A and B are shown apart, each in its own frame.
Chain A
Amino acid sequence: MTSTGEYYQRDRMRHPPPRDEGYKTSVTRSPNYPLISLENSVSDVTGPVFGHGDVDPLDRDLLRNYARPGESPIGERIIVHGRVLDENARPVPGTLVEIWQANAGGRYRHKKDTYLAPIDPNFGGCGRTLTDVDGYYYFRTVKPGAYPWRNGINDWRPAHIHVSVFGRAWVQRLITQMYFEGDPLIATCPIVNTVRDKAAIGQLIAPLDRQASVPLDSLAYRFDIVLRGRRSTLFENRLEGN
């Protein structure tokens, strides 16, 4: 019998509920039945492993990874950086972080986005990187613009960057969105407000990080990501954990 340290149960009161009438699409895409809770097995505490063969160093630089030679995208040049930690405040090294976003005008390079703001010929809008041994990651990009969406007829998403993280285990898989400090659209966004807990919303808002800005080049925002932590199997084989 394998003795695995389990991951802490996900606090679903901090996450958004499946159904939120303010976010209309969730109404028909949310299960009616409660989830079945499982104790972790090896199927859950394992997960895909990525390596440097999977990503190119340029993939983290959205200022260059889709720009024509000698050109760069239009917009506010920023660095987005931070650490991926678990709930025990331990770094999560070597994990894949993927981001995607609209351009400075709020337009996505996606065939289904028909917003009238133009595509930027030098901006793709996606990036990926692996965290280093300290769980640290960074991207260079432009600050995305707000954009309208068909929910209420005058609903606008705050500027945001979508973030996907794997962690070490299938149970840690997480997709979220990062918002920018001071954006007045955060307070009125139905998607932000699917999160009921104000403190939890605060965890999605990246502060301006003047210390990490590059003078005469880029401002920086700091976004730390916390994945589920893991219990020690005390009095058994001590595996990774708190």
Chain B
Amino acid sequence: MTQPLDYLKETPSQTAGPYVHIGLAPGAAGFDIYDRELGHDIAGPNAAGERIRVEGIVMDGTGSPVKDVLLEAWQANAAGVHAHPESPGTVEDGFRGWGRVITDFATGEWGFDTVKPGPVAGRNGTMQAPHIGLWLVARGINLGLHTRLYFDDEVEANAADPVLNLIEWEGRRATLIARRGARDGQPVYRFDITLQGGEETVFFDI
């Protein structure tokens, strides 16, 4: 007999189900209970950098919009610093870097306002192109899906990004690149996510 390893095991995931909004976005579920719902303001009023809007839709394997998704975003500020003690540097007062949005029940559209993140250090001396980590949960998704949003106006940085370059199938890298547009003079990035099928978005095991 060898000694047993005494590690615990991670609690298994379960789907967030159709009523995830009750717990994590109760206002959207149709009732007000908290004075302050979390995740509305990613960047705060003091963050430096370009103010952007990010929008999209999530589609299932039939090409139909998924109307009960909850998305969370995690990003660095414009200087490439995360609001976390392990990130080198400090962030602006009020910059949280984390946000939570749901899709519109009727259309499936989601969107959030933030600042465009700066490049972040990668592993082994590399630099990562500006990106926003996204995490999706919904009915039918058994374990939250991690993906990344990159920006189509960061061509050089994207070409050198260590994570994008890990994706051997070059044709799939484009599924992670948001397209820049404008509305009322404000930059808007479009990022549609396909859960399954031909243009399936790349998802990561991080």
Contact = CB atoms under 8 A, between A and B. Distances in A.
B143 interface: yes
B60 interface: yes
Interface of B: 6-24, 26, 29-31, 33-36, 38, 60-62, 64, 66, 68, 72, 74, 76, 82-88, 96-98, 105, 120-125, 128, 131, 133, 135, 137-146, 162-163, 166-167, 172, 195-197, 200-206
A184 B97 CA distance: 43
Contacts of A49: 83-85
B144 A100 contact: no
Interface in A81-102: 85-89, 96, 98-101
A36 B43 CA distance: 29
For B9, B139, B142, B196, the residue with the greatest tally of chain A CB atoms inside 10 Å of its CB is B142
Nearest to A162: B23
Interface of A: 1-2, 4, 8-12, 14-18, 20, 23, 25-33, 35-50, 54, 56, 59, 65-66, 85-89, 96, 98-101, 108-113, 124-126, 128, 162, 164, 170-171, 173-177, 191-192, 194-195, 197, 200-201, 203-204, 225-229, 242
7 A-B pairs with the lowest CB-CB distances in the bound complex, closest first: A100-B23, A25-B140, A48-B98, A46-B84, A29-B140, A16-B142, A28-B61
Contact of A28 (B10, B14, B196): B196
Given A31-B195, A226-B9, A126 B26 contact: yes
Contact of B196 (A31, A54, A242): A31
B71 to A, nearest CB: 12
Given A36-B202, A36-B205, A46-B87, A18 B12 contact: no
A191 B15 contact: yes
B62 A65 contact: no
A4 B138 CA distance: 31
Nearest to A89: B8
Given A33-B200, A41-B128, 5 more contacts: A10-B205, A43-B131, A49-B83, A126-B23, A242-B7
Given A59-B34, A227-B11, A44 B83 contact: no
Contacts of A11: 9-10
A37 B204 contact: yes
Contacts of A46: 74, 82-84, 86-87
